[in-house]
Amino acid sequence: MSSDIKNGLKQLDEKELYEIARLKKLNIPRNWSKTLIVELLALNVSTQDIRNIGTKPLEKRIESRDVSAIIVKDLVKQFEDVTAVDGLSLEIKQGELFGLLGPNGAGKTTTINILSGILKPTKGTAIIAGFDVTKNLEEIKTVIGVCPQEAAVFKFLNARENIELFGNLHGIPKKELEERTDTFLELLGLAEASKRMAKGYSGGMLRKLNLIMALISDPKIAFLDEPTVGMDPRARRKTWEFIGSLKDQNKTIILTTHYIEEAEALSDRVGIIDYGKLIELGTPQELMERYETKNLEQVFLKITGRRILEGI
Ligand SMILES: Nc1ncnc2c1ncn2[C@@H]1O[C@H](COP(=O)(O)OP(=O)(O)O)[C@@H](O)[C@H]1O
Ligand SMILES: [Mg+2]
């Protein structure tokens, strides 16, 4: 047991060893060798303490922009006779706003549902912030926020109550939660309606509310499934501005959409999917140049002979 502890400690870097010492209220002089620190800590810590600190390097890893926030590996989802996701592989960088674009039924929602742990893959896996969706769902849930395709709100609560309920589940301190709620409601133009029961909200207002709920915990990674469905053009613009502003906070955002314009306006890169397969990948500009077209709709048309909005 004690050799387990020592081995665990040896895996940590010096900064992490000092962090454990700090948590255990042990004063270690700065000039001690690593071996000596390990010897001392081994007498005072449990394997659980090491595990707690051992999860930190993962967070550190996703702080740098170059690191992949999401790695999708040969993902397959089979629903009886439908292959909704058919061997999808993809890497999304930390801080990237990635648009998953494709017609209705292409497999966008299924992909998001697998990445956010709502569905289990039939084959393959995905690594989110260093955690595997088939193994470490609990950890993944602490770093992601999800705005699902179908509105998920309590209809008999108002917007503010819905948001605060959700925020409380995440253990956000009261004052911080209030401030963040106010800011988000204001930014999305939902402040005025926020005291009315969600029962009377339009589809667009429900989307805005769900978007705020997805982001209230300040997640590093957000999955937004068709965030502007049901919005009028003005609300859509406002929401685009809001989503665009998240990029400045170095958040990784995966947005699914069948609105070409939306993918073009917001995404650093887009992946175009059709019948569960990735058929193109690149910046909107790159794809338009590659296919000598003026927009992404024409890119899709050139590859498939169909229009995205026609669906399948
Ligand atoms: N729970 C399910 N059971 C059976 N088929 C499903 C289920 N969910 C999705 N599908 C099918 O999988 C395919 C992809 O659907 P979906 O991921 O919702 O596409 P998108 O979000 O791109 O519109 C569609 O053919 C859809 O009918
Ligand atoms: Mg969908």
- Among residues 106, 116, 153, the alpha carbon closest in space to that of 274 is found at 106
Residue 217 to residue 172: CA distance in whole angstroms: 7
Mean pLDDT by 10 residues, the chain (312 residues): 79 84 84 88 84 57 58 97 97 95 95 96 96 92 92 94 94 94 95 95 95 95 94 92 88 93 93 96 95 94 86 48
- Among residues 69, 57, 59, 76, the alpha carbon closest in space to that of 95 is found at 69
> The whole model's pTM is what?
0.79
Centroid of chain to Cα 177: 20
**What pLDDT, on the 0 to 100 scale, is given for residue 65?**
40
**What pLDDT, on the 0 to 100 scale, is given for residue 222?**
96
- Residue 62 DSSP label: T
Residue 93 to residue 253: CA distance in whole angstroms: 10
**Residue nearest (by alpha carbon) to ligand 1 atom 17:** 107
Q: Which amino acid is at 287?
A: L
- Among residues 239, 175, 183, the alpha carbon closest in space to that of 210 is found at 239
- Among residues 75, 85, 79, 84, the alpha carbon closest in space to that of 123 is found at 75
**What pLDDT, on the 0 to 100 scale, is given for residue 10?**
85
- For a ligand 1 pocket test, name from 78, 83, 86, 110 the mutation site with the most ligand atoms within 8 angstroms of its C-beta: 110
CB atoms within 10 A of CB 258: 19
**What pLDDT, on the 0 to 100 scale, is given for residue 186?**
95
**What pLDDT, on the 0 to 100 scale, is given for residue 1?**
59
**What pLDDT, on the 0 to 100 scale, is given for residue 312?**
45
- For a ligand 1 pocket test, name from 79, 224, 309 the mutation site with the most ligand atoms within 8 angstroms of its C-beta: 79
